C-alpha cells in the first residue's frame, strides 16, 4: 500500500491553473523527487501534500485513508514533516526552536530533551542547543529546520529545495542525513528540487513537473532521455556549451566550442554535441592552477551574485561561465568585478546534455 496517493489533483488561483490533473503514488520507504523549474508547481504541490492548502479538486490518500479536510486533516498532518525552502526560525535558542512542536503536542520535558538532542546529533549540530537560531549561518539554519521536522518522528518528510544556495559542506551533510534517515528509519521522503543530480543521487523515482502538469514519472535515467531542450529547461543547467567533437587517441573527446576554445570531456562522442559543466565543479584561483584538470582557462569576473554562504560568479573567458564558490573563498581571494581569475575543471566534469 502506498504511503500517499494523489488522484486527479488540481489547484486553481484567480486567472491561473497551478496544478492540472496530478496523479501519482509514493511507496512506503521511498525517496521520490519532484523536479522542474521555478514556477512549475512544485511548492504548491508540496503544500497540498502537507495539507496546509486544500486542492481545488482531486483526492489525496494517506496510508490508505482518504484525506477529509473537515475531519482527519490535523491527525494526518501530525504524521508529516515539512522543511520549507525559506527557513523561518524563532528569535530564541536552537533547543527551543527544535522542541516547539513537541511542546505543542504535550510531550514531557524528559522526552523532549532526549529527542531534541537526538535530532541535533543527526544533523551534526551537537552543542548548538543554547545558540540563538537567528545568528546561525544559512546552512546551519537549514539543518535546524531539518531537525525541527525530524524531532516529531514523521512517517513522511516533505522538502522544498532542501539544499538551495547552501555551500558544498552543508549540501553534503543534508544529503547524508536524508539518505541515512531513509535507510535506517525508513522515513519516506518527497523532495522538490531543480537539481537532477541530487535527485539521481538520492531518489528512487522522480516526477518531472512542467507548467503544472506531470510530464513523466519514472527513474531519473528515464527522464534523462527527454529532449535536450526540455532537459535544459527543467534542470536549470548552466555552462551549456555546443560544438563539434572528435575522439582523441586517449579515448576522450576534444570539443571545439568556437572562439579558438576547446574543452576535453571524459566521453567518446564525435560530431555535434551539447555539454554542460556544473558551476560547483569548476575550481577558481587568482593564480595559474597546478592541477591534473584537463580544462583550464583565464578569464575576468563579469558579475557577482551573493547567496549568503555561497557566491555565483559570471566569468568571461571568451565564453561565458558560471562558477560557484563559498563566500569564504570569495573573501579570502579578494575577488570582485573585473578581477582576473583562472578556471579549471576535469574532463569527467563535462556531461552530455
81 within 8 A of 70, measured Cβ to Cβ: no
CA pair distance 108, 105, nearest whole angstrom: 9
Domain tally for the chain? 3
Does residue 46 form part of some domain? yes
Work out the end-to-end distance of the chain between its first and last CA atoms, rounded to an integer number of angstroms: 36
Same domain, 124 and 65: yes
**pLDDT value of residue 76:** 97
> What CATH code is carried by the domain that includes residue 69?
3.40.50.300
Q: Quick one: pLDDT at residue 38?
A: 81
Confidence of residue 228 (pLDDT cuts 50, 70, 90): low
Inform me whether the pLDDT recorded for 148 exceeds 60: yes
**Same structural domain for residues 97 and 188?**
yes
Same domain, 64 and 163: yes
Compute CA distances 204 → 189, 234, 240, whole Å: 10, 19, 27
Same domain for 199 and 249, yes or no, is: no
166-190 pLDDT, tens digit each = 877 888 899 899 999 999 999 999 9
**Per-residue cell: 20:** 492540472
pTM of model > 0.75: no
Residue 78 lies in a domain: yes
Look up the CATH number of the domain holding residue 295: 2.40.50.100
Are 85 and 228 contained in the same domain? yes
For residues 209 and 263, membership in a common domain is answered with no
Residue 353 lies in a domain: no
Residue 112 lies in a domain: yes
Is 160 in contact with 81 (CB distance < 8 Å)? no
H runs (alpha helix) in 186-214: 196-202
Same domain, 272 and 285: no
**Average pLDDT estimate for 41-60:** 96
pLDDT tens by residue, 112-132: 999 999 999 999 999 999 999
Q: Does 67 fall in a domain? A: yes
CA distances from 330 to 239, 306, 309 (A): 20, 10, 10
Q: Does residue 265 sit in the same domain as residue 288?
A: no
Confidence of residue 231 (pLDDT cuts 50, 70, 90): low
**Residue 352 within a domain:** no
CA atoms of 301 and 132, how far apart (whole Å):
36
How open is the CA angle 207-352-242, to the nearest 5 degrees? 120
Q: Is residue 315 part of a domain?
A: yes
> In this structure, is residue 40 part of a structural domain?
yes
The helix/strand count (H/E) of the chain reads as 10, 20
Q: Which domain holds residue 254?
A: 239-276
With 80 as the cut, is the pLDDT of residue 196 above it? no
Say if residue 236's pLDDT is above 70: no
Kindly report the average pLDDT of the chain as a whole number: 91
Q: Are residues 17 and 131 in the same domain?
A: yes
Amino acid at each position: 500500500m502506498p504511503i500517499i496517493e494523489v488522484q486527479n489533483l488540481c489547484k486553481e488561483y484567480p486567472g491561473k491553473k497551478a496544478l492540472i490533473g496530478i496523479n501519482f503514488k509514493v511507496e512506503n520507504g521511498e525517496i521520490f523527487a519532484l523536479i522542474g523549474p521555478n514556477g512549475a508547481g512544485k511548492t504548491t504541490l508540496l503544500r497540498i501534500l502537507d495539507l496546509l492548502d486544500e486542492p481545488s479538486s482531486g483526492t489525496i490518500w494517506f496510508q490508505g485513508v482518504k484525506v477529509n479536510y473537515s475531519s482527519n486533516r490535523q491527525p494526518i498532518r501530525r504524521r508529516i514533516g515539512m522543511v520549507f525552502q525559506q527557513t523561518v526560525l524563532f528569535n530564541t535558542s536552537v533547543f527551543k526552536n527544535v522542541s516547539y512542536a513537541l511542546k505543542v503536542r504535550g510531550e514531557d520535558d524528559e522526552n523532549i530533551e532526549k529527542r531534541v538532542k537526538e535530532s541535533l546529533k543527526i544533523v551534526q549540530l551537537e552543542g548548538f542547543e543554547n545558540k540563538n537560531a537567528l545568528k546561525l549561518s544559512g546552512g546551519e539554519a537549514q539543518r535546524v529546520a531539518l531537525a525541527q521536522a525530524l524531532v516529531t518522528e514523521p512517517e513522511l518528510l516533505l522538502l522544498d529545495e532542501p539544499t538551495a544556495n547552501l555551500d558544498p559542506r552543508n549540501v553534503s551533510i543534508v544529503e547524508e542525513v536524508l539518505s541515512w534517515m531513509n535507510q535506517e528509519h525508513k522515513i519516506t521522503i518527497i523532495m522538490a528540487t531543480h537539481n537532477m543530480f541530487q535527485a539521481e543521487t538520492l531518489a528512487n523515482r522522480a516526477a518531472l513537473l512542467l507548467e503544472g502538469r506531470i510530464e513523466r514519472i519514472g527513474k531519473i535515467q528515464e527522464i534523462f532521455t527527454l529532449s535536450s531542450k526540455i532537459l535544459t529547461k527543467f534542470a536549470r543547467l548552466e555552462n551549456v556549451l555546443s560544438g563539434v567533437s572528435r575522439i582523441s587517441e586517449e579515448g576522450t573527446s576534444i570539443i571545439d566550442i568556437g572562439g579558438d576554445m576547446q574543452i576535453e570531456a571524459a566521453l567518446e562522442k564525435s560530431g555535434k554535441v551539447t555539454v554542460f559543466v556544473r558551476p560547483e565543479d569548476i575550481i577558481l584561483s587568482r593564480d595559474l592552477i597546478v592541477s591534473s584538470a584537463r580544462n583550464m582557462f583565464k578569464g575576468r569576473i563579469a558579475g557577482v551574485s551573493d547567496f549568503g554562504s555561497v557566491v555565483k560568479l559570471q566569468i568571461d573567458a571568451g565564453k561565458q561561465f558560471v562558477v560557484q564558490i563559498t563566500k569564504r573563498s570569495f573573501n579570502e581571494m579578494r575577488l570582485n568585478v573585473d578581477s582576473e581569475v583562472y578556471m579549471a575543471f576535469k574532463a569527467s566534469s563535462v556531461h552530455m546534455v
